[in-house]
Amino acid sequence: MTAKIIDGKKIAAEIRAEAKLEADELISQNIQPCLVVVLVGEDPASKAYVGSKVKACEETGIKSIKVTHPAGISEAELMSEIDRLNADNSVHGILVQLPLPKHMDEDAVTERIDPSKDVDGFHPVNVGKLSIGLDCLTPCTPTGIPEMIVRSGIEMSGKHAVVIGRSNIVGKPMMSLLVQKGEKANCTVTCCHSGTKDLAYFTRQADILIAAIGVPEFVKADMVKEGATVIDVGINRVDDATKPRGYKLVGDVDYASVEPIAGAITPVPGGVGPMTVAMLMKNTIKAARMRG
């Protein structure tokens, strides 16, 4: 059996097209959706991701403002910038690209953003709302995952979803989303992490296996049940002298060995990454609607 390849790039393009229609509608009501992306420092991966976000905004009709700061900016300066953006009624979404330089407290910065402009869904108010099933802004990466599964014709309701990883950005919000009622959720959910004993015992029971560990090619064929849907959240840059950029991107799943066993699988690149950016467009539109 060969797996169905879940084409994140294609599904992301569909979602951006939907977001464009919604943006056009808002613009016709004299609301110009506007996202501010704040980039601190020179991390090459962060620069690339922010670049994709700005490009997606252009395509979608969302106004984007990219604010860049040197790595040495003080936390106090960054905080006052966030305060200004919070107070600016023409700004609907604020995203501070992570990771931040070591001298900054990422939690404090995240909490400074007005929850109604928190298009990352990282603010504790949004985390809490998600966990009790209230409508809110939800983190882009995990929010894109049920979208890509369901749009690939795979049912989620009643399935056993196993998430590997418990980060605040992916693992934990993924658990909250999957356990909710609804067509794009309603799963039985297991969370595995570095403290899990006999990890493969759990992962082999997954109908839907979501790998968000941050270890290149961690998930091997013997950890996957035949026919499972495998979602690879990892984006690891691995040195490769044969590539023009000097590195290749690999996921947290050993694609070559897992693909023949899986029922469906997401590639890296071209899987979860582009969906993250597309869901950011949706969140920005949602934030613009909420505020007007």
Catalytic residues: 53, 97, 120
Cα(3)–Cα(1) distance, rounded to whole angstroms? 6
Min CB(65)–ligand L34 separation in Å: 15
Under the criterion CB under 6 A, does residue 126 sit at the interface with ligand L34?
Answer: no
Report CA-CA distances (Å) from 105 to 78, 81, 108.
11, 15, 5
Q: Which is nearer to ligand L34, 163 or 235 (CB)?
A: 235
Min CB(139)–ligand L34 separation in Å: 7
Cα(154)–Cα(143) distance, rounded to whole angstroms? 16
Under the criterion CB under 6 A, does residue 255 sit at the interface with ligand L34?
Answer: no
Type of residue found at 268: V
Cα(207)–Cα(230) distance, rounded to whole angstroms? 8
Please select the residue that binds ligand L34; options are 7, 81, 118, 120, rule is CB under 6 A: 120
- Residues within window 130-169 making contact with ligand L34, judged by CB under 6 A: 140-141
Q: Find out whether 134 and 176 touch, Cβ atoms under 8 Å.
A: no
Under the criterion CB under 6 A, does residue 95 sit at the interface with ligand L34?
Answer: yes
Of 62-70, 89-97, 160-168, 218-226, the segment contacting ligand L34 by CB under 6 A is: 89-97
Nearest-CA neighbor of 50 among 75, 31, 69?
A: 69
- Residues within window 259-278 making contact with ligand L34, judged by CB under 6 A: 268-270, 273-274, 276-277
The tokens for 43 are 């991390």
Min CB(9)–ligand L34 separation in Å: 7
Under the criterion CB under 6 A, does residue 52 sit at the interface with ligand L34?
Answer: yes
Nearest-CA neighbor of 37 among 24, 23, 54?
A: 54
Min CB(28)–ligand L34 separation in Å: 29
Kind and range of the H or E run holding 102: none
Q: Which is nearer to ligand L34, 25 or 58 (CB)?
A: 58
Which DSSP category does 103 fall into? T
Phi, psi of 168 (to 5 degrees): -75, -20
Q: How many residues bind ligand L34 (CB under 6 A)?
A: 19
Residues lying near ligand L34 in the complex (CB under 6 A):
48-49, 52, 95-98, 120, 140-141, 235, 249, 268-270, 273-274, 276-277
